[in-house]
Structure 1
Amino acid sequence: MNWKEFIENRNRLFWLVHTAGWCGFALVHYLGSLLHDLRDIFLVIILLNTYAGWLLTVPLRYIYRRIWNFTPLKIAIVVILASYCTGVLWQVVKNINYWEIYKHGYRPDFWLYYTKNSLLSFFIILSWSGLYFGTKYYQMLQKEKQNVLRANTVAHQAQLKMLRYQLNPHFLFNTLNAISTLILVQENKTANAMVTKLSEFLRYSLDKDPMKRVTLSSELHALKLYLDIEKVRFEERLQVNFDIAQDCNHALVPSMILQPLAENAIKHAIAVQEQGGEIKVSVHRFGNDLLIELADNGPGAEIKNGNLFRENGVGLVNTRERLQALYQQDYSLVVANNTPTGVKISIRIPYEVGGRI
């Protein structure tokens, strides 16, 4: 039996709790009868009284449903009145059972005696009402909590997609501009190769869910596609060096996490220097952490408190926000000056392979 599904079914849950509660009532009264050394026939009275209480409280459920949206004062008045009337009726049934069965047909002198001890029954029914409303409010709060979590998840996914996809137009504009230039100078073969790599890169970018992680080898393949495209633009001015540890190829990383960092390096380190420069990507494992480093030998930048001060820079900001969304506090992103020149970005995330640390 699927207990989670059973409990989430409100109708089934009501009948389960309702019946279990009255069974508990019967058990408590039976144990109490043993202390008072009552005759065995009293067990029949307990069962009849329990069944009467079980039956009489069922209509309260439908009454309380109808008043659910009333003001708190009206709800309290209805609950007290309904509980009192039900308690009195239940006490009459209990007295009849006790006098007819245990007292062998005893009849009181005055009919109001049939309501004797109604106050105790009223408190029991009032407690039942309190448990009903408490359970309903708890279910309502749980449902609202689930709705909030679901809404946060949807917003979370939308935020990650926005953070990732807003980077693509910059790269796409530059690439299409380069292809257009190649066509104008009749470098059709090179332009065709560039279009092929661009389509493969964009297919990878669009197919990968930003909420999921991919293997490092897959991410590096996409990065190499991007850098191969940029090499057509910069030719020998762009040099790339990879230093990847063998045990890191199957590690899981956020999709498209390296491309914006490489794009920043090209924009601010390679493109601004007449002789170009080098981008070095290194990935190693340190204990339970995966260390990713991307460095360039450009002119460097102003760095304060781990932040780069550049105009219109979104790559590093988006990368930090994506890591925050995916790993909460279990990550680090450090920006530092490279030696002898340039900028070095170091990322630390948990080392995971196929969901296992």
Structure 2
Amino acid sequence: RQRFRKEAQIRKLRELELTAIRSQMNPHFLFNSLNSVQNLVQQNKGREAHLYLADFAGLIRKVLQNSEKEEVSLAEELEMTEQYLNLEKLRFDFDFKISVNENIDANNTMVPAILLQPFAENAVIHGLQSKPENRRLKIDILKESTGIKVIIEDNGIGRDAAKKIAKAKNGKGSKMIQERLKILQEKQGEKYSLEIIDLSGEKTGTRVEIFIPEEK
């Protein structure tokens, strides 16, 4: 009975992973990306269009490469997230910074595939897009005693305001990740955690904290 339950968990996990792949390459994102390239070409910004297409191709290549993987290295995950943010930055004009603690070996630290991008997307689309200026996003990877903590923080309009504009601040992507982490925890018996925090006062916006246990 336990074996059947484990097999069912693995099947469910694969379904969620494939859904994550499909959601990343959703038609809106593809259309907007190609539209941005067209606009650059029309403005005779050939160099910018070339750089944009390089990031776009790199992102699609990474997604396809990772489509069969349950885990990827932190370095690969961050590279893919950075490529995604570079694409969106051209459309929405925001600043972002990715920092990794010096004690973390990103090439040999494994994380669930396509873990960060859905939260980065939420931050950009629902937090920063509706903010008029000084839009910032930062991703910090911190070393903990039993794993790593990922912090994704934006200074956007916050979840309450975003919900009034679009009823999906905590959209399908992040809900899907929550379900994936739950199944991974059941499957591996290790403690994953996810917390979404509404910032208040002068520091408005949203902070997402994800704990990923180290492999034993």
How high is the TM-score relative to the length of structure 1? 0.52
Aligned to 1:199: 57
Q: Deviations over 1:62-85 (max 9, x none)?
A: xxxxxxxxxxxxxxxxxxxxxxxx
Aligned to 2:72: 214
Rg comparison, structure with higher value: 1
Aligned to 1:226: 84
Distance 1:323 1:210 in 2: 17
- AA at the equivalent of 1:230: E
Gap change, CA 1:295 and 1:151, over 3 Å in 2: closer
Q: Deviations over 1:210-264 (max 9, x none)?
A: 6521111121111111112222223xx3111222112222321111111111111
Given candidates 217, 229, 244, the residue that maps to 2:100 is: 244
Cα root mean square deviation, aligned: 2.5
Q: Which moved further from structure 2: 198-207 or 159-168? A: 159-168
Distance 1:274 1:215 in 2: 35
Given candidates 34, 39, 45, the residue that maps to 1:176 is: 34
1:45-64 to 2 correspondence within 5 Å? none
Gap change, CA 1:256 and 1:152, over 3 Å in 2: closer
- How far does residue 198 in structure 1 lie from its aligned partner after superposition? 0.6
Gap change, CA 1:346 and 1:151, over 3 Å in 2: closer
Distance 2:183 2:5 in 1: 17
Is residue 2:179 matched to residue 1:321? yes
Query: Counting helix residues as a fraction of each chain, which structure ranks higher?
Result: 1
- How far does residue 276 in structure 1 lie from its aligned partner after superposition? 4.4
Q: Deviations over 1:151-185 (max 9, x none)?
A: 65344312321133223214323212211222222
* SS state at 1:269 partner: helix
Query: Contact 1:210/1:254 (CA < 8 Å) preserved in 2?
Result: no
* SS state at 1:294 partner: strand
Aligned to 1:350: 213
Given candidates 151, 159, 165, the residue that maps to 2:16 is: 159
Aligned to 1:311: 167
Aligned to 1:341: 204
> Which structure 2 segments of 5+ residues have no match?
none
Gap change, CA 1:335 and 1:266, over 3 Å in 2: same
* SS state at 1:192 partner: helix
Distance 1:314 1:276 in 2: 27
Distance 1:252 1:279 in 2: 23
Gap change, CA 1:173 and 1:319, over 3 Å in 2: farther
Distance 1:240 1:280 in 2: 5
- How far does residue 147 in structure 1 lie from its aligned partner after superposition? 6.8
- How far does residue 317 in structure 1 lie from its aligned partner after superposition? 0.8
The share of aligned pairs that are identical, in percent, is 25
1:66-105 to 2 correspondence within 5 Å? none
Query: Counting strand residues as a fraction of each chain, which structure ranks higher?
Result: 2
Distance 2:49 2:7 in 1: 45
* SS state at 1:179 partner: helix
Q: Deviations over 1:271-325 (max 9, x none)?
A: 112214110101112111211100000111139xxxx895242121122122122
Distance 1:151 1:245 in 2: 36
Gap change, CA 1:158 and 1:222, over 3 Å in 2: same
Distance 1:183 1:205 in 2: 26
Gap change, CA 1:160 and 1:300, over 3 Å in 2: same
> Which structure 1 segments of 5+ residues have no match?
1-141
Query: Contact 1:182/1:190 (CA < 8 Å) preserved in 2?
Result: yes
**Higher RCO (CA-CA < 8 Å; seq separation 6+):** 2
Aligned length: 204
1:291-310 to 2 correspondence within 5 Å? 291-302=149-160
- AA at the equivalent of 2:146: N
Aligned to 2:44: 186
Aligned to 1:266: 124
Aligned to 2:147: 289
Query: Contact 1:334/1:345 (CA < 8 Å) preserved in 2?
Result: yes
